[in-house]
Amino acid sequence: MVVKIISFLLKYQRRGLLQGSQLQLFSSLPRETYSTVATSTIKEFKDIPGPGGVAQWPIVGSLFHFKPFTEFTPASFDKLIEYMVNQYGPIVRLQLSGPKVILSDPKDLEVVYQNEGRYPLRPATDLSALYCQRNNLSGGFAEVQGEDWYALRSPANKFLLRADCATHYLPIQNLVAEDFAQMLETRQRGACELADLFFRYASESNGVVCFNTRLGCLRESTNRDAETEQFLNAMSELFLQLQNSVSGKSIAHKFYRNKTYRLYEKARMTVHEISSKYLNNALKEIKKEQAGDSLSLKQRSLLNLMMNDQSLSLKQIQIILTALYTAGTESTAKNMQVLFYNLAKNPDKQEKLYEEIKVTLGGDEPLTKEALAEMPYLKACLKESFRLIQPTIFSANRVLPEDVVIRGYRIPAGIPLVFTQVKCCRAYFSEPDKFIPERWLRSQSTRKIENAPPAFVNTPFGHGPRKCLGFRFAEQEIYLATARVLQKLRIHVRPESENCSFKYMIFVEPEQPISFYFTNR
């Protein structure tokens, strides 16, 4: 009987390694071999270090990593990963909803990127994939793969990878940053309210990019628009349920429309419905303005540029812009909080940054493209914040189209490879636990970073053709808010947040909301 169960599980697991569409995708790609190790010395997948016994059992194996079998819970998932890396080293084989390989040395990540193929495959979260499947939708960037992904991504690249795509929005995003700073200035706010304010800032700032409008997210609670609130609530709900699914709080959604699934579906439909409305309004505005002589900000907007591109349908434009909005809010809000935290904890670095801001912008001037080019310390602070407290638990997540050999082990095509910078990356830095933005500054004489770490040691936005599509916006929005706030205020944390610890759901977030407070300069 036991043998029967085990052989059933093994069969199921083998089927689970690759889903049909992924297999089809791989079969259309050229076959290549990437091994740099003599074939006779290559070790098998099963020999990769990792927990053994029941913890490697298909499907149920993941359960043995968590309470009551260990001290870990789905909410302390990052601690489990850190434990595994400490215990087994830079390559670990693990059952986590199917077999996975965890890598933590940036040199191995380089091999992954070299072998990701023309259409890099980043597996979708199962909740969002199920939503698309159950509603017969093709999905956005998070879900589509292969040629479908390329068909969406390549026209979007034309607009979003241009160096000036974000700076074009500086004048209007400066106003959003100004509102954010003013809200911090007017009164002290509680930790939860502040966390919400970061989210509102990112939502408002992304709104001007995706929907050409000020959504009104940064209004005080007495003066808010019902539809905007519905939109923001749906966006938060969508992330909450995604977190519940990836952290293992919900498993049943895989089999039926459980509560997590239903809440997610409702939220996603609301986001779709309201974002369509915003887009239609934006289009009407553009048409009205087209009669004017000079190109206005709106006419040079992403939306207008995309509308004028014959290769994009209105449906594709909507998918791209809604995906940008969804991908860009929580991510930016959470990472901006982390930067504020690091600055509050390191007042000497905060003062140094303020000096740079004062010299470049003075006390009140808005951020310009030219000024930004003169602010290396601001950029170094964000980079260091990303290094110290990584933005996502896995900064890379790929399924490769061919077998690959990493550290002498053959990893079959179709096995998800994830990269975490929790441990090995620290070895490349002196005083790795300290916030030292200076390590990212280029030397005046050589224009190079001294003792530069390996290329993939700090890749908050991923890399390659599937790299974050909105990284320029993310950085700009964080620079803007930081510069504007520091022009007016000093950032501090209250004693209860002095030693804040962070957890990873979709993105990094504090275990408890951070109690910031701000004082006038």
Contact positions vs ligand HEM (CB under 6 A): 122, 141, 153, 206, 323-324, 327-328, 331-332, 335, 391-392, 395, 460-463, 466-470, 473-474
Nearest distance in Å: CB 40, ligand HEM = 34
DSSP state of 184: H
Nearer to ligand HEM, 219 or 467 (CB): 467
Quick count: other Cβ atoms within 10 Å of Cβ 380?
22
Task: Tell me the angle at which helices 376-388 and 471-488 cross, rounded to the nearest 10 degrees.
Answer: 110
SS3 of 409, please? strand
Nearer to ligand HEM, 19 or 70 (CB): 19
Contact 338, 502 (CB under 8 A): yes
SS3 of 418, please? strand
Nearer to ligand HEM, 65 or 466 (CB): 466
Nearest distance in Å: CB 82, ligand HEM = 19
Calpha distance 258→198 (Å, rounded): 31
Contact 452, 143 (CB under 8 A): no
Nearest distance in Å: CB 464, ligand HEM = 6
Calpha distance 378→359 (Å, rounded): 12
Token output for 361: 């912008």
Nearest distance in Å: CB 258, ligand HEM = 27
SS3 of 124, please? coil
Nearest distance in Å: CB 460, ligand HEM = 5
Nearer to ligand HEM, 50 or 414 (CB): 414
Count of residues making up the chain: 521
Name which of 258, 275, 315 is nearest 130 in CA terms: 258
Name which of 118, 101, 176 is nearest 401 in CA terms: 118
Contact 499, 375 (CB under 8 A): no
Nearer to ligand HEM, 51 or 217 (CB): 217
Nearest distance in Å: CB 38, ligand HEM = 31
Nearest distance in Å: CB 450, ligand HEM = 26
Contact 489, 518 (CB under 8 A): yes
SS3 of 400, please? coil
DSSP state of 389: S
217 marked as part of a ligand binding site: no
DSSP state of 117: -
Nearer to ligand HEM, 61 or 234 (CB): 234
φ/ψ of residue 373, rounded to 5 = -65, -20
Nearer to ligand HEM, 152 or 267 (CB): 152
In the annotated binding site, the residues are: 468
Annotated binding site for heme: 468
